[in-house]
């Protein structure tokens, strides 16, 4: 099992290392513990969202509403805290419940209507956007309880950001669900062959519902961390996160056609994007050129990854020939 895992993510892991080595050489500030924690803080939200996104992608679905799920989640939590004076802990729990409910609604519509997830969640994105703006009227809500803000900004022992702990915890939970539980297996089964899974007694509807529900759950956690980090809630905040998560997952080898991918891959994908952005920013390169470089590096990364997988198979073939003779 471990071997298979290692092989699958080998290509992208190499790309990540190559990037780290490169940036470490060209800019001395890059390779510092502080900067490492910077990067993890910067990608914590997209990383956590990507865990849920990976589940959905593996089942063969997609959730384009995660971006405005974030917006609605943070706006609701913010209003609860500031307008209604709800204690932050309670507000967060309500926010998480809201996230789960949105996810379940997505799942329910998809499961019951058999409409393509892409278009269901695209419509949901528009609806959530409207709702979130309706709540705030486009204005910002800010200045929250210190202990709440600490979640996103403070460190433990002056070094390790609290958000990193959350991030790691979510990765572990996500990996556990996917690799160790019945449902993880069902996610793969559905994504690979929904008919066969159904005929094997997998309750496809329930499992799909679960995937979207979990996606909403993880997204709301990511949203809360982001709110704490920004110390300000605004309806436009989540815009584009569906794209970022999709990019991270797909770069990390999670197939947009379902059935393939791992949490480790998705997180490596997030790290590649995060390191690239951070490294280029620290190098202080012209931002337009940054875009071009980002695109080219992503392209090289995935092409290299795919080709190295193909090559791996070839190498194995040659080995078999030799063994046979």
Q: Rule CB under 8 A: is residue 195 a binding residue for a copy of itself?
A: no
* 62-299-51-64 Cα dihedral, nearest 10 degrees: -30
Question: What tokens were used for 78?
Answer: 């913010």
211-235: b (≥16 Cβ within 10 Å) or e: bbbbbbbbbbbbbbbbbbbbeebbb
Q: Which is nearer to another protein, 41 or 305 (CB)?
A: 41
Where do we find the tokens 């609604």? 105
Binding residue for a copy of itself, selected from 97, 130, 146, 311, defined by CB under 8 A: 130
Q: How far apart are CA 79 and CA 111, in angstroms?
A: 32
Q: Rule CB under 8 A: is residue 313 a binding residue for a copy of itself?
A: no
How many residues of this chain interact with a copy of itself, rule: CB under 8 A?
48
Residue 188 partner contact from another protein, a copy of itself, none using kind-dependent CB cut-offs of 5 to 8 Å = another protein
Q: Rule CB under 8 A: is residue 116 a binding residue for a copy of itself?
A: yes
Sole window of 22-30, 132-140, 165-173, 175-183 interacting with a copy of itself (rule: CB under 8 A): 132-140
Q: How far apart are CA 4 and CA 251, in angstroms?
A: 18
**Positive or negative torsion for Cα 174, 179, 181, 187:** positive
Could you say which DSSP state residue 187 is in?
H
Q: Rule CB under 8 A: is residue 190 a binding residue for a copy of itself?
A: no
List the end-to-end C-alpha distance of the chain, in Å, as a whole number.
29
How many other C-beta atoms can be found within 10 angstroms of the C-beta atom of residue 239?
15
* Binding track, positions 279-308, relative to a copy of itself; x by CB under 8 A: -------xxxxxxxxxxx-xx--xx--xx-
Of residues 43-82, which lie at the interface with a copy of itself (CB under 8 A)? none
Q: How far apart are CA 314 and CA 184, in angstroms?
A: 30
Residue 139 partner contact from another protein, a copy of itself, none using kind-dependent CB cut-offs of 5 to 8 Å = another protein
Binding residue for another protein, selected from 7, 32, 90, 307, defined by CB under 8 A: 32
Q: State the residues that interact with a copy of itself by CB under 8 A.
A: 109, 113-116, 118-120, 122-131, 133-134, 137-138, 243, 246-247, 250-251, 255-257, 286-296, 298-299, 302-303, 306-307, 310
């Amino acid at each position: 099992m471990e071997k298979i895992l290692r092989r699958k993510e080998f290509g992208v892991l190499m790309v990540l290392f190559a990037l780290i080595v490169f940036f470490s050489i060209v800019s001395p500030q890059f390779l510092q513990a502080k900067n490492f924690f910077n990067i993890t803080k910067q990608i914590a939200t997209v990383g956590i969202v990507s865990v849920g996104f990976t589940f959905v992608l593996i089942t063969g679905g997609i959730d384009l509403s995660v971006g405005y799920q974030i917006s609605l989640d943070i706006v609701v939590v913010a209003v609860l805290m500031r307008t209604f004076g709800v204690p932050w802990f309670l507000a967060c729990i309500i926010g998480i419940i809201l996230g789960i409910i949105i996810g379940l609604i997505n799942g329910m519509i998809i499961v019951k209507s058999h409409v393509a997830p892409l278009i269901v969640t695209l419509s949901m994105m528009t609806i959530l956007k409207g709702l979130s703006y309706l709540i705030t009227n486009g204005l910002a809500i800010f200045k929250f309880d210190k202990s709440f803000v600490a979640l996103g900004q403070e460190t433990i022992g002056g070094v390790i950001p609290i958000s990193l702990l959350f991030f790691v915890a979510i990765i572990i939970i996500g990996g556990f669900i996917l690799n160790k539980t019945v449902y993880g297996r069902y996610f793969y089964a559905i994504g690979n062959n929904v008919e066969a899974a159904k005929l094997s007694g997998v309750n496809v509807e329930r499992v799909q519902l679960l995937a979207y529900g979990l996606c909403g759950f993880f997204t709301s956690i990511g949203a809360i961390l982001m709110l704490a980090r920004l110390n300000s809630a605004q309806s436009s905040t989540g815009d584009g996160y569906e794209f970022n998560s999709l990019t991270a997952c797909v770069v990390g080898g999670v197939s947009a056609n379902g059935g393939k991918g791992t949490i480790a891959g998705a997180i490596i994908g997030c790290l590649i994007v995060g390191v690239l952005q951070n490294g280029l920013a620290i190098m202080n390169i012209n931002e337009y050129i940054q875009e071009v470089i980002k695109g080219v590096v992503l392209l090289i990364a995935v092409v290299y990854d795919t080709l190295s997988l193909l090559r791996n198979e070839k190498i194995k073939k040659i080995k078999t020939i030799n063994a046979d003779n």
